[in-house]
Chain A
Amino acid sequence: MKVKWWHIALFVFFILIVAVVVHPTRLRLSWMLVKSGKPMEAIQNLTQIYSKDPKNYRAIKILAEALENMGRPEESMELFEKLVELKPTDENFKELARFYMWTKNPAQAKRAYQRWFDFRKGKKIGFTDDDGTEIVDNLYSLSLLARDYKSAIEALKVRRQLHPDQAHFIDNDMITLYEKAGDLDGTIAYIESLLAKDKGNVYALEKYMQLAPLAGKKDAARNVLIEDIETNPKDVAARKRFVDFETVNKELGAADEWYRKWMERSPTDQALKKEYLNWLLATDQQKPAIAFLEAVSEEERKPFEETLVRLYEWNNMKEKLVEPYIARFEKNPNDAENAKKLVWLLIDLKQYDKAETVLKRLVELHPGNSEYALALADIYQTKDKTDASIAVMEKAVQKNRDPKLLKQLGVLYLSAGENR
């Protein structure tokens, strides 16, 4: 076969095609150098390509990675930034966000995730894949750190769509975000929307009862709480929520009225009575608490006897204290604290006969006790029974040579005209 000119031309053309395909471009060569562990040479090549063509995003990408792999992330930062400007793709945004996470720069990482988030929303890509989860999770946590609640709310809205099973928790977190953002109207509107969907959302309900009065919706909140009680009449927490609401809003009378209504309905509910008493005490309504305890049956009062005595003490209701002090004394005459309180109370109330009886018993039990002996002697003196007074003191000094006793005895002798 005779070789014709076009045979030669075809051959040359074929060789040229092969050469173009097989022969590495400078860019490809740089990439190969990076992969074969010669980053320095690659960086030199890529820098030259980049300086000639600053929009060559492929060169920028390889150069950024090569510099980072060499431990020079400071130099690659600008390149990663440029890359997403020139070629905003999922892959490049991911690289930018990763870069800032790896270089311990939370503020820039948040910015990168925000841009990636906005990019995906703009392109309607969605967030159901792994990258989507990464974006939402990191944007949310970094926004909380940076107090950027607007971004955090946006991220959380997407998370709610992704995880409908976690909607309840996410809704509650969302309330907190609106609150932190300082948006009262937005918070109220959001809570109302939640309660409209689910009246049993206790977190939302509790927030509503706190915030509604601030937004001028106190009555609306009260109605929601009453509805809650009526729907769940046995729910103690619902009852307490209502009482708390009225208490915080200084509507003690209203709360008291409700308590009485409930007690009327359930007269044997001891826990309710205890709860009411605790509420009275916690809100410093001591007189009503006393009245309540005095009104209940003896049996019901029994567990609260100590509390009642304390209330009498706090309110200086001396006459009321006599009986319980005597009861305690009879139960345990060796309770020195109670005995002293009782004696001084009886003396203070001028109930000398009772005081004499108690002190006689005490002197018998503690014959050397100077305080009791002196007190009994005083009682006798008050009753003009000097002889009895002297007898008590003489008995006491036999057991105790306390100078106070001796002195008092001396005084008694003198007053009796004796010169012993």
Chain B
Amino acid sequence: MSHFKSIFLLAVLLVLPGTLFAAEINRNILAVIDFSELKDESYNLIEKFAETPLNHLGFKVEYVDVSQYLPDDKEMTKYAGIVSWFLDNQLKGAPDYARWLTRQILNGKKVAAIGNFGFFTDEKGEETPNEVMDEFYKAFQISYDWHERSDSPLLIEVLYKDPKMTEFERKLSNELTNFEKINVLDKQAKVYLKLKRKDTGAICDAVFIHSKGGAVLSDYAIFLNPETFESRWRIDPFTFFAKIFGSDFPKPDITTINGVRMFMSHIDGDGIRNISDIDGKTPSGKVAYDEIFTKFNVPVSVSVVIGDLVLAQRGEREALFDTIRKIFALPNIEPASHGWAHPLVWDEKRRSMAYDLKGYFYSPQNEIGESLKYINEHLVPKGKKANLFFWTGNCRPDFDALKYVYDNNIGNINGGDTRFDSQYPSYTYVSPPFHHVGGFLQNFSADANEVTFTNLWTGPFYGFKYVVETYQNTESPIRLRPIDVYYHFYNMERRVSADTLKNIYDWVATQETAPVFISGYLDKLKGFLSSRIEKISPDRFVITGNSDLRSVRIDDYDGYVDVAASRGVMGFLSHQGSLYIHLDNGESSEIRLTKNRPATPYLAKANGEVSNWKVQGESVSFDLRTMGRLLFKLAGTKGAYDAVIGGKSVTLKSNERGEIFFSEPLDKIGFETVKISLTARRGGPI
């Protein structure tokens, strides 16, 4: 009997290789904040600056106001680490927080402390007891002497700096404005910025990473122009957080579909009735229909404000209905709502509306639910349904509004105003994809719209052209955001602004992009949150729960994916030092990395969702859903292939690198699913 038991156990071990030892990558980071410091949301430095790089590294950020609540050990098992970025050193319940943080460090949580530690005194100015501070210093493996503080650049000099880490976007020259005698005691620590006080000779480890996490002294994480609050990173936040929290796992990627950068476009309903200066008589909505939606074969998610229909005069109203119905009937258009009365400010205490409508009163149901209902009942053709809400006005929905969209499963987007251009040349202006509102997530749009480029639509009316710089800077050196051409109907009021928009779409057409509707992008964001990543070994990972997100990315990796040994993996692409891995639509995918280039065909890139992916010997077949252009690249191929692409037969030949690249325009407006099959020529590869 025991003999059979042994055989059975052996069999089980063979059948379940590795998975027995799998460990889920903990992607949750707890951001500790002192809510009393935040005069408004812009004071939340973690969300404003740190969340973007953390998200890029695959981490999800949750916030807790530690002046009110300290999670217990059980709750803390959920988190991989802690980030703090306090504005000052005063905190309600400072000693309790200090003890809690010490405990977390002793429990093995990595801590990234940026700026002030935050707990030197309580809210009454009572100093945290020395012994409590000493316990913290001991646990965090540092020493600290507050007597040596100085903010005078004349007293501070650099003893050592690693410019890559500490002068990422701005040099330190003349800006050594903080000295605190903090010294790291961990012998394995890496100090990136070491300062010296000229008068006392005291030494300060201003930026360091060690076995307990890492820290950056105030003034050395970002530069803030004291006059305008323009910001630049001083540290390289991508490297800083990656080194503290780890980065050697496949990260769910919200920018890419099958190796190609996502592209979407969306328009807020404002100004649809405005008469365009172009001819002095046509409403901007009609100009958009005539010059954009029907001329560019790109996906546009279009929203309207119901208030515009209510306020339109007789005659104008019929034309407006007609225009909107025609717009929504186009196959490249996805319908959405931009509200009923268009709140300008969402916050209950200061709420105001763009439209004063008789009989209307604000409620999430009236503003969001009823506007979508109206659109679906009166404006969209059969077979289409509007289920998206584009936030209006200040784009700061309150808890009730957010709760409403979540309760009713309505997609939401807008806000963020991401910029990265010559005026704002910094990752500090790249907003995170999410904004946290009482446990709910508002989805920020991926890029800013024309409002910020035109000084709130007062000019320059060509200003939107500079958005291309943001598209370029968020693609290279790292792909951080998809392209989102986001504007308003009033953009069509002027010839120059309409032409600027066309030039932007023309520029997009020169790029390799994977078009999606806004709803498609939101699905990727959901997938980012729901993905689970298990590490079986350093070169073996299992991805589950990723839903519609099918792209994962491993950074700083120069190997390949063993596609044949992997499961649910169609292919991969090395791009800018990262490996983008294309998952199929299965429920679970297993990635196996290798140092050897695969010899069998795999998908290197495709500009849309791929389904029915099949590889049989040297033959490949798949369906590619895209718009405007059909683009794909296969690798691991040899010789010539008889291909059938959308019913047309063609011969495709591999190049010397074993790749087949295909790119041709598609005539049909809207998304199209093209069947593609490649069969290796008889007689074997040539």
Interface residues of A (CB under 8 A from B): 37, 68-71, 73, 102-106, 137, 140-141, 144-145, 147, 149, 173, 176, 179-182, 184, 187, 207, 210-211, 213-214, 244, 247-250, 278, 281-283, 306-307, 310
Are A179 and B154 in touch, CB under 8 angstroms? Answer: yes
Are B499 and A184 in touch, CB under 8 angstroms? Answer: no
Interface membership of B421, Cβ < 8 A:
yes
Of A104, A176, A187, A247, the contact of B466 (CB 8 Å cutoff): A104
Are A69 and B147 in touch, CB under 8 angstroms? Answer: no
Closest to A152 in B: B227
Expressed in whole angstroms, the minimum distance between the Cβ of B105 and any Cβ of chain A is 21
A residues within 8 A CB of B152? Answer: 179, 207, 210-211
Interface residues of B (CB under 8 A from A): 127, 130-131, 145-148, 150, 152-155, 173-175, 177, 198-200, 225-228, 230, 277, 421-423, 455, 459-463, 465-466, 469, 496, 499-500
Task: A69 to B461: give the CA distance in the assembly, Å.
Answer: 8
Expressed in whole angstroms, the minimum distance between the Cβ of B142 and any Cβ of chain A is 15
Q: Is the interface of A mostly helix, strand, loop or mixed?
A: helix
Of A71, A137, A282, A283, the contact of B465 (CB 8 Å cutoff): A71
Are B153 and A244 in touch, CB under 8 angstroms? Answer: no
Are B227 and A140 in touch, CB under 8 angstroms? Answer: yes
A residues within 8 A CB of B421? Answer: 104
Known: A211-B154, A248-B148. A281 touches B130 (CB 8 A): yes
Expressed in whole angstroms, the minimum distance between the Cβ of A151 and any Cβ of chain B is 13
Are B227 and A73 in touch, CB under 8 angstroms? Answer: no
Task: A281 to B134: give the CA distance in the assembly, Å.
Answer: 11
Using A141-B225, A145-B230, A213-B199 as known contacts, list a sample of 4 further A-B pairs with CB atoms less than 8 Å apart, ordered by residue number in A: A102-B460, A210-B152, A249-B199, A250-B200
Are A247 and B154 in touch, CB under 8 angstroms? Answer: no
Known: A102-B459, A182-B174, A250-B200. A71 touches B496 (CB 8 A): yes
Closest to B277 in A: A37
Task: A207 to B155: give the CA distance in the assembly, Å.
Answer: 10
Are B174 and A181 in touch, CB under 8 angstroms? Answer: yes
Expressed in whole angstroms, the minimum distance between the Cβ of B106 and any Cβ of chain A is 17
B residues within 8 A CB of A73? Answer: 460, 462
Q: Is the interface of B mostly helix, strand, loop or mixed?
A: loop
Closest to A212 in B: B199
Are A144 and B227 in touch, CB under 8 angstroms? Answer: yes
Are A210 and B155 in touch, CB under 8 angstroms? Answer: yes
Are B496 and A69 in touch, CB under 8 angstroms? Answer: yes
Are B155 and A211 in touch, CB under 8 angstroms? Answer: yes
Expressed in whole angstroms, the minimum distance between the Cβ of A394 and any Cβ of chain B is 41
What are the 9 closest A-B residue pairs judged by CB atoms, nearest first?
Answer: A71-B462, A104-B423, A141-B227, A102-B460, A71-B496, A141-B228, A180-B174, A104-B422, A179-B153
B residues within 8 A CB of A68? Answer: 460, 462
Are B225 and A282 in touch, CB under 8 angstroms? Answer: no
Are A70 and B147 in touch, CB under 8 angstroms? Answer: no
Closest to B127 in A: A278
Are A248 and B199 in touch, CB under 8 angstroms? Answer: yes
Task: A73 to B453: give the CA distance in the assembly, Å.
Answer: 14
Task: A263 to B422: give the CA distance in the assembly, Å.
Answer: 60
Closest to B453 in A: A104
B residues within 8 A CB of A187? Answer: 154
Closest to B228 in A: A141
Are A283 and B147 in touch, CB under 8 angstroms? Answer: yes
Expressed in whole angstroms, the minimum distance between the Cβ of B502 and any Cβ of chain A is 11
Are B147 and A147 in touch, CB under 8 angstroms? Answer: no
Task: A147 to B553: give the CA distance in the assembly, Å.
Answer: 39
Closest to A37 in B: B277
Expressed in whole angstroms, the minimum distance between the Cβ of A267 and any Cβ of chain B is 23
Closest to B503 in A: A71
24 A–B contacts, CB within 8 A, in A order: A69-B461, A71-B465, A71-B496, A71-B500, A102-B455, A102-B460, A104-B423, A104-B469, A141-B228, A145-B230, A147-B173, A149-B174, A176-B177, A182-B153, A207-B152, A211-B154, A248-B147, A248-B200, A250-B200, A281-B130, A282-B146, A282-B147, A307-B131, A310-B131
Task: A70 to B173: give the CA distance in the assembly, Å.
Answer: 41
Expressed in whole angstroms, the minimum distance between the Cβ of A23 and any Cβ of chain B is 28
B residues within 8 A CB of A145? Answer: 225, 228, 230
A residues within 8 A CB of B146? Answer: 282
Expressed in whole angstroms, the minimum distance between the Cβ of A96 and any Cβ of chain B is 14
B residues within 8 A CB of A180? Answer: 153, 174-175, 177
Task: A395 to B616: give the CA distance in the assembly, Å.
Answer: 80
A residues within 8 A CB of B500? Answer: 71
A residues within 8 A CB of B177? Answer: 176, 180
A residues within 8 A CB of B225? Answer: 141, 144-145
